[in-house]
Chains A and B, each alone.
Chain A
């Protein structure tokens, strides 16, 4: 089995481990028009308007190693959910190979349920159950007997501090609490691989910490491998071991967050927020306009270090300063990496 055949060299931290999940040449095409809209797993902006079939997975190769917290990062419509739906046996690829722990999941998609715990984006099947019953039922349906399911339910609800909400129906909870309850159900009945599709959406920091602590515990105690889908750059940078950056159904980079940031290490990001209209009659400002990524009153510039320092000095010491509301110089984030690699869509979030 090959490891580290990505665009980038494998990071030192991940070598010497066996591969848990191998994906080769994965292709999944949706028919153009209403066909793409019909499928709930696919969220592609404007896909329905395209005449050509949409390649939601366009030749994806991945290697995920045992015990890794591996991220799939990309904006909405990049094909993240389509990819994980194929990994979890919900969607059949048109071509390619998926191997999880020695099992061919393209030929035997039914085995995915016996290897992978999956947290999808939808909770409609659990919405009208209480938190406790959702967890217990999911455990029963993962093959636990009644006693084991109840014990696992209690342990997980305690771990995630959901005890006080145990008797409440999931649909009456807030968005973040609902997500946490569904995450709890995913954990009942241990699996060697967890696939989590945007698990922390809508959660407050306390709930997020509970999620990452629970994930960490399973990795250290059971060697659980975790695949995380996210469009949140900050989360990707702080929790992931490695990250595959997806754009339009292709992996455009795969490395550790630090390794990816090193790709744009010679650049820094300069954010300018103008009080009102920017003074374009000033030559220093006019010269920056073509380089800026404009979003309302905010200009984002990605500049080499020296140029950024000079620009900073020009702006703070020059006539443009009174027009400025805020000025920030920052190290590049994964969003900058994504854009530098030719990522086409916007929609990565930083919160």
Chain B
């Protein structure tokens, strides 16, 4: 990247055009370069990831404990061994970690940043809005990796399901993460007040919990429609389909579910970027 205006001593440096002192006409000064999309994304992502050490670790534990707790509870009513119910519980609990962190916590974070004026920091830097949103969303999606893996492994052991397809989480987490963190960021940035951002995040997570963990065939039809509208559902379905082992998996359906996640991710991150632009300059 070219670095103009950042170094070099002497007056006239620093991106200032140097007109004759007192001269009537002044050419517009040279502008410092913008930050480019990917380097700026990398910088925001790295900074956000580092916040985990300071602020997020306890909440990551909460997310994991909640999911493992739900599975232990459900073990009392659902038989172990391959079956729709066992798959739904394990896949739903695993994706719930993603919903908790990427949707709920990110909505709260952006809500708080917006309410406190923290967005000003980014808005007064020449950084593409998409880098800020993608950087934060990417970091929150990354926070979910250990908890989701732990939950999935614990669930497979608890319900006697195969561990051979857990690798599919390598695709499920980024795509469900993109969809849910995009949604979380958009909710946080669009909510008129911080409390409403928090409330929406919580509601989104509760919906992911209630509609994700229970097997679809046990739900009334109206609830099933609601379930189909929730992006986390497609992450849950994709993972649930694979839990019977590779040989019994309808991979085309998995790909279909994941492409819904990807599509929702693209749209919701786009909306979040628009919302950020709107929130940053009034």
Contact = CB atoms under 8 A, between A and B. Distances in A.
Given A124-B113, A128-B51, A222-B11, A90 B32 contact: no
Given A101-B29, A138-B125, A141-B122, A40 B43 contact: no
Interface string A85-96: 100111110000
B224 to A, nearest CB: 40
B47 A133 contact: yes
A114 B30 CA distance: 9
B253 interface: no
Interface string B21-32: 111101111011
Interface stretch (A187-195, A230-238, A258-266, A290-298): A187-195
Interface in A26-54: 39-41
Interface in B52-66: 54-55
A171 B24 contact: no
A145 interface: yes
A341 to B, nearest CB: 30
Nearest to A103: B28
A119 B6 CA distance: 18
A219 B16 CA distance: 13
B210 to A, nearest CB: 32
A137 B47 contact: yes
A116 B10 CA distance: 19
Given A18-B22, A140-B35, A118 B124 contact: yes
Given A125-B113, A129-B51, A221 B124 contact: no
Contacts, number: 185
A40 B120 CA distance: 10
Contact of A137 (B6, B17, B29, B46): B46
Interface stretch (A105-113, A241-249, A311-319): A105-113
A19 B22 CA distance: 8
A1 to B, nearest CB: 6
A136 B1 CA distance: 16
Contacts of B43: 136-137, 140-141
A45 to B, nearest CB: 18
B117 A143 contact: no
B50 interface: yes
Given A124-B113, A128-B54, A143-B1, A1 B125 contact: no
Nearest to A109: B281
Contact of A145 (B9, B15, B39): B39
Contacts of B6: 142, 144, 148, 152, 189-190
Contacts of A91: 281-282
A25 interface: no
A190 to B, nearest CB: 5
Contacts of A191: 5, 14-15, 32
A190 B14 contact: yes
Interface string B249-282: 0000000000000000000000000000000111
A64 to B, nearest CB: 13
A90 B124 contact: yes
Contacts of A308: none
Contacts of A171: 54
A103 B32 CA distance: 13
Residue among A19, A109, A221 with the most chain B CB within 10 A? A221
Given A18-B21, A141-B127, A192 B51 contact: no
A192 B120 contact: no
Given A89-B124, A144-B6, A223 B31 contact: no
Contacts of A142: 6, 32, 35, 125-126
A185 B184 CA distance: 28
B114 to A, nearest CB: 9
A18 B119 contact: no
A120 interface: yes
A17 interface: yes
B282 A126 contact: no
A16 B22 contact: yes
A221 B12 CA distance: 9
B77 interface: no
A124 B118 contact: yes
B231 to A, nearest CB: 27
B124 A120 contact: yes
Given A102-B28, A140-B43, A130 B50 contact: yes
Given A169-B54, A223-B12, A125 B124 contact: no
Given A103-B29, A137-B46, A112 B14 contact: no
Interface string A249-262: 00000000000000
Interface in A151-191: 152, 169, 171, 189-191
Given A40-B116, A140-B40, A152-B7, 14 more contacts: A18-B23, A19-B26, A39-B282, A90-B124, A118-B120, A133-B46, A141-B122, A142-B32, A144-B3, A189-B6, A192-B16, A221-B10, A221-B11, A222-B16
Pick the 5 closest A-B CB pairs, nearest first. Answer: A102-B28, A124-B118, A101-B29, A140-B43, A125-B121
